[in-house]
Structure 1
Amino acid sequence: MSALVIRAGATARRLIEQDGLNPEQFVVMAGAAGGPKWLALAGLDRYFFGEFFAARKRPLFTVGSSISSWRFAAAAQDDPVAAFDRFEQAYLQQRYSDKPDAAEISSVCNNLLDTLLPDEHIEQLLKHRYLRPNIIAVRCLGKAAHETPRQLKAGLAAIAVSNLRSRARLAQHMERTVFRHPDGHAPFLPFRDAFVSHEVALTADNLKPALRASASIPLLMQGEPDIPGAPPGMYRDGGLIDYHMDLDYRLDDGLVLFPHFSTRIVPGWLDKFLPWRKPHAHHLDRVLMIAPSEQLLARLPNKKIPDRKDFNRYSDLDSLLADWRVATAECRRMADEWAEIVNSGTLASRLEAFPENSLATANARNR
């Protein structure tokens, strides 16, 4: 059984076939939003940051929204494996009342963040030897900036209608904010698209607020107001704009590593309901994507990776968490297989192209 699907853009494939695989090849590592879906990647994360990149010398710019910004916060600590262990253990022990409100869910998630990134480890991230995290959050405008459920729902409804008409119309309702590492400037910055984008240097004062904001799912969790150093306002989940990192990375050399929990790349959070909304081919030219195979998914409880809808599928939390543990353990096969590929030097023979029907066409309603 193969646990992995490995896809590469045209330039990425050519360079790997020509030069083989080297950890220094990667300039950027991208991470998708997805809540509990990160558990499928927990084994890979430990391998990448505990072994694969352990001797790395050049900077590696990470970019992610929501749960992936938290993954990269774990990676950017002096002992990344221990940080991932803390994060996974706490995530698989989360507890809620029967009908939790946004305040309760936010409180539980804030405790998760404190376990993942203790205050005394903040300087480790800001002074990391090679990792340069970039955290994406959204600054909401209009009714989407309100915490009152009625106002917020109205704002989200307007956002959904605008997104249905075109992705570019989302810019009427929100602005992208990138909280970037103070050392070095990522090649993909500044962003060049329809959205107003702010860049804010990470500090000890705004790191945790930025991480909270990046993962603040509207209605489900409380927003993060007035983050130090950023324009005043209400900040929410970065996945609203950048869900699966359909970004113009603008690399002149090197590659983008994208461990993903799906073979589908969805530009924005609301685009998951729009099958015609697809990533641009040129954005994937230098991307190497690693995702779970259908064979692996068939071995998991419910034949899928954990997701947020499980909270509604299961009648009790203990059963849900038990199945999440099984899925997380099974998905470690991805890390084992990737390590075998690295050690055997057989990556080139495993590469697939991104299917043409998974990419945006010139007349697609992406913008």
Structure 2
Amino acid sequence: MIQILKTTQPCLNIHVGYKAKQVIEEQGLQASAVDFVPGAAGGPKGIGIQGLDQAVFGEFFAQAPKKRTLIGSSIGSWRFASIAAHGAQAGTSKLADLYTHLEFRPKMNIIEVGDVCRGMLKALLQGKTNQIIDHPDYHLAILSVKSSKKFQSDHPLMLARAVAGIIGLNTFSRAKIGHFMQRTIAQPHNASRLSLIKNEFEHLDYALTEKNLEDWLMASASIPFLMPAVRNIEGADVAAYRDGGLIDYHIDLPLPSHGIVLYPHFTDQITPGWFDKFLKKRRSNAEYQARTVLISPSESYLRSLPLGRLPDRKDFTLKGLDQKKRIELWKQSVAESQRLGDAFLEMIHKQNFEEYMQDLK
């Protein structure tokens, strides 16, 4: 049995945009105000906040059921798909169990890695595509990127040249990486269809259907060099589609919220694109995040975990950490995340967010 640690240190950090701050000061944080939930790319870090997801989707939103847009890239979109398919408790538990027990043999090629990940996705969805597409409470919007001609090939040399070009251009301007890729949004084309205000990137809007849901989820998580691009997606232009986090790592988008954007996240910062991780001054847009309430694990919580941090993709190849030990440590980290959910629900009950709120920067 896994024992959950007890601590008096705060588990959560709460960072808010300036409009969200005003709303909370006047009304508290109410479920009825939440109309958008972003989900960041970040691999297994996504299962490290399972308890928070279960509290938000399983208990908080149940206080005021309504149609909410869930917009995610990579693991963010998989988290949301699992919740829409199976419910907050069962869905997040299934995702964590499948991800934790993934096994990659040494020197697997990208096709083999892609096959393993697609097998995990199939096991996660269990054919419940219709339930996800037509969910009464959740409108799923999946972010990925459409590769330009220069970024189409999965050949290591061609890919390396393209990525080098992206890194170089991104140093000067985030918008310039549009020469290599374009944002795509796959979503059900119904009354809840999301229309984004134009920002640095033009975007392509594709219809999310039962027939292409699996491919779009795969595309959203297809990391260059590790997995092949996804091609021949039904209803989409003929192209190579890759990880949505390349452009939308932490979802810094002008979402048309009229209430609160509630953002369960792994960190207290919003980094716009994956390549911006290496640019310390590249931060989120304050206007885009004006209505955001960012909820993330505190430093004291992270230090208390078995690895001193959330699960990470590097753990699969970390020296001295074999498969059995990794699984054990990940399970412990996931179990500990119940503290995050408990802390959030306590704040909701007490409505004492003003004691913890910090400005989102």
Give TM-score, length-normalised by structure 1.
0.92
* Distance in 2, Cα, partners of 1:330 & 1:300: 8
| Aligned residue in 1 for 2:185 | 178
Please state if 1:241 is matched with 2:247. Answer: yes
Q: Residue 333 of structure 1 aligns to a residue in which SS?
A: helix
Selected match of 2:306 from 298, 301, 306: 301
The amino acid across from 2:313 in the alignment is R
**Any conservation in 2 of the 1:139–1:234 contact (CA below 8 Å)?**
yes
Selected match of 1:112 from 103, 108, 120: 120
Provide the alpha-carbon RMSD of the alignment: 1.5
Selected match of 2:271 from 266, 275, 278: 266
Q: Residue 298 of structure 1 aligns to a residue in which SS?
A: helix
Please state if 1:25 is matched with 2:33. Answer: yes
**Any conservation in 1 of the 2:196–2:254 contact (CA below 8 Å)?**
no
| Aligned residue in 2 for 1:204 | 210
**Any conservation in 2 of the 1:140–1:174 contact (CA below 8 Å)?**
yes
Q: Residue 284 of structure 1 aligns to a residue in which SS?
A: coil
Q: Once structures 1 and 2 are overlaid, which stretch shifts more, 77-86 or 147-156?
A: 77-86
1:1-367 matches, within 5 Å, as 1-119=9-127, 121-186=128-193, 189-251=195-257, 253-315=258-320, 316-354=322-360, 358=361
* Distance in 1, Cα, partners of 2:179 & 2:326: 38
* Distance in 2, Cα, partners of 1:51 & 1:75: 13
* Distance in 2, Cα, partners of 1:276 & 1:159: 18
Report the CA distance between 1:218 and its aligned residue.
0.4
The amino acid across from 1:256 in the alignment is V
Q: Once structures 1 and 2 are overlaid, which stretch shifts more, 291-300 or 53-62?
A: 53-62
The amino acid across from 2:349 in the alignment is N
Report the CA distance between 1:55 and its aligned residue.
5.0
Give every structure 1 segment of 4 or more consecutive aligned residues whose post-TM-superposition deviation is greater than 4 Å. Answer: none
Report the CA distance between 1:310 and its aligned residue.
2.1
* Distance in 1, Cα, partners of 2:256 & 2:205: 17
Q: Residue 326 of structure 1 aligns to a residue in which SS?
A: helix
* Distance in 2, Cα, partners of 1:197 & 1:24: 29
**Any conservation in 2 of the 1:132–1:183 contact (CA below 8 Å)?**
no
State the number of aligned residues: 352
**Any conservation in 1 of the 2:266–2:297 contact (CA below 8 Å)?**
yes
Identity of aligned residues (%): 36
Q: Residue 352 of structure 1 aligns to a residue in which SS?
A: strand
| Aligned residue in 2 for 1:362 | none
Instruction: Could you tell me which runs of 5 or more consecutive residues in structure 2 were left unpaired when the two chains were aligned.
Output: 1-8
Q: Residue 313 of structure 2 aligns to a residue in which SS?
A: coil
Give TM-score, length-normalised by structure 2.
0.94
* Distance in 1, Cα, partners of 2:88 & 2:285: 33
**Any conservation in 2 of the 1:73–1:133 contact (CA below 8 Å)?**
yes
Q: Residue 310 of structure 1 aligns to a residue in which SS?
A: helix
Report the CA distance between 1:78 and its aligned residue.
4.9
* Distance in 2, Cα, partners of 1:338 & 1:149: 44
Report the CA distance between 1:101 and its aligned residue.
1.7
* Distance in 2, Cα, partners of 1:214 & 1:150: 23
The amino acid across from 2:273 in the alignment is G
Deviations for 1:198-254, whole angstroms, at most 9, x for unmatched residues? 101111111110000000000101110021111110000000000001111133x20
* Distance in 2, Cα, partners of 1:168 & 1:36: 28
**Any conservation in 2 of the 1:8–1:288 contact (CA below 8 Å)?**
yes
